[in-house]
Structure 1
Amino acid sequence: MTDSLIAIVPAAGVGQRATRAGESGPPKQYRLIAGQPMLRHAVQALLADARIAQVRVAVSADDGWAAEALAGLPRTVCRPCGGPTRAETVAAALADSGAADDDWVLVHDAARPGLPAGALARLIDACLFDAVGGLLALPVADTVKSQRRLDTGTSRGQSAAQALMPVGDGTSDNGVPSDSSTHAEPRVRATLDREGLWLAQTPQMFRAGLLRTALASAQSAGVAVTDEASAIEAAGYTPLLVPGSLRNFKVTWPDDFELMGTWL
């Protein structure tokens, strides 16, 4: 069946940014939101569309939480094939799946448990008859700033910290930062034009053969791959941008768990 759909959920990371200093516990995908592990919510969101034949969760070889987190879910397979990076995990999960080149693969973040069924259906409907595939994304609504490098804009003989630190704000009389302020805060370099900018989400949906080739080519060329679409772009293709959902935000910081809990 050339239009078979499988989903891959890379879940081999630990999510350090989601942990406050001094906290301990399981990786972030296993932390509870609304009484269930976040990973379980993410998988259930994919299972909501009957067109997805199987969800394959790729975890690290020493994972001790996945079996319990996913217990009882239909059409779900957990495989200890995770690698050190997202791209390597997805490539390994693709190889492990045995998917034919013409099969469709949807890659979804374990940290996006709020994926609405409607957004998932939009993506599948849009990509099934497209030559490349695409991803869920949202147009940028906020004003976007770029950060000034800390080693630019300094005068001769002046450190970056001195150049960026206002006099009278954590500095001594000669402009050198005092003990109470040992580093400069980031400062704006410029305001960017947000026209045409989108925030990438997941799932991202491509043919298995195309995605395999794109990931391998990116790795050989040393291209930084932050999501599947970036590998496809590096191979010369232009993925579809399919409107996503605010509910489909990525749980990244400690406060995000409480916010996601209000949706779930």
Structure 2
Amino acid sequence: MSAPNFSVTAIVPAAGIGSRMQADRPKQYLTLAQSTVIEHTLTCLLAEPDIEMIIVALAAHDRWFAQLPLATHPRIKTVVGAAERANTVLNALQEVTSEWVLVHDAARPCLHACDLAAVLKAGQQADGAILASRVVDTMKRGDGEGLIAESVSREELWHALTPQCFATQTLLEALSAALAAGATITDEASAMEWAGFKPQLVAGRADNIKITRPEDLSLAQFFLEKK
């Protein structure tokens, strides 16, 4: 259960082009089970009553989002993103008025309500929280030339997923400072880590996949059908 008067704004970075998909449009606009990828993602978020607003950060010349039925939903607004994800999220954060913020990838359409609820609950405590899954495969580090340099222990290794939930002002300050310092920021948690915080890891379902390659579409469709 959420705390009394808990409200959160969700940010959905959707300014990327997804070049690895080799498609005629960004991956979030590819069709998946009769809807676009981003429509599945937004529908998951809209079903959560604690999310009062969703801010979708789009590329400056995006011509697809406005054509979607969800584009006129009263709980959805758009902002212009940037070339890098961290800057895109920072742009969206300027529009957030709620105390808490949740960031979720546009290309993760298989999010389950139970995982969303779990990260929202954990995010209200301490230094925020992220969904993650434990690494179960044997890990290898390459040598830069396609050969194995060493095996890496998978103990306490996790795959970082989204959503990620933090106090809005804390994330804004951490992300701004990290970018100003030239730090490499790969997700919101990495900005928080850079600023000295230790976000909570919340074990999430492994089917919360991010669509990155063409074969991921058929896998996501399978997961959605099972969902």
Shared fold, TM over 0.5: yes
| Counterpart check, 1:4 vs 2:3 | no
The equivalences for 1:105-144 within 5 A come to 105-128=101-124, 130-144=125-139
Q: 1:263 to 1:74 in 2, by over 3 A?
A: farther
- Give the distance between the partners of 1:8 and 1:262, measured in 2 at CA: 26
TM alignment of 1:218-233, pairs within 5 A: 218-233=178-193
**How far does the alpha carbon of each residue in 1:178-231 deviate from its partner, in whole angstroms, 9 at most, with x for none?**
xxxxxxxx1111110000000000000001100110111111111000000000
How far residue 126 of structure 1 moved from its aligned partner, in angstroms, is: 1.7
Q: Matched residues in 1 for 2:221 and 2:148: separation?
A: 33
The aligned length equals 220
5+ unaligned residues in a row in structure 1: which ranges? 151-185
Alignment of 1:70-219 (within 5 A): 70-71=70-71, 73-79=73-79, 81-97=80-96, 99=97, 103-128=99-124, 130-150=125-145, 186-219=146-179
The Cα shift of 1:249 comes to: 1.0
State yes or no: 1:241 paired with 2:226.
no
Q: Work out the percentage of aligned pairs sharing the same amino acid.
A: 43
Partner residue of 1:56? 55
Query: Does the aligned pair in 2 maintain the 1:116–1:247 contact within 8 Å?
Result: no
Superposed displacement of residue 74, structure 1:
4.9
Aligned twin of 1:18: 21
In 2, Cα distance between equivalents of 1:74 and 1:198: 36
Matches of 2:5 and 2:173, distance apart in 1: 18
Does residue 1:262 correspond to 2:222, yes or no? yes
> Take 1:74 and 1:32, find their aligned partners in 2: how far apart are those partners?
24
Indicate the SS of the match to 1:96: coil
In 2: Cα distance, 1:144 partner to 1:188 partner: 10
Runs of 4+ in 1 over 3 A off after TM superposition: 71-74
Moved more, 139-148 or 65-74: 65-74
Higher strand share: 2
SS at match of 1:88: helix
Q: Which amino acid letter does the alignment assign opposite residue 123 of structure 1?
A: V
Task: Indicate if the aligned counterparts of 2:6 and 2:50 stay in contact, CA closer than 8 A.
Answer: no
Partner of 1:167: none
Taking the aligned partners of 1:61 and 1:115, their CA distance within structure 2 comes to: 27
Contact 1:67–1:78 (Cα < 8 Å) also in 2:
no
Asked if the contact 1:66/1:78 (under 8 Å) is kept, the reply is no
Is the CA contact (8 Å cut-off) linking 1:108 and 1:202 kept in structure 2? Answer: yes
Structure 1 residue identity aligned to 2:114 = G
Q: Tell me how large the CA RMSD over aligned residues is.
A: 1.5
SS at match of 1:189: strand
Per the TM alignment, residue 3 of structure 1 is displaced from its structure 2 partner at its CA by: 3.3
Match of 1:164 in 2: none
Q: CA deviation at 1:39?
A: 0.6
Q: Is the 8 A contact 2:126 2:199 kept in 1?
A: no
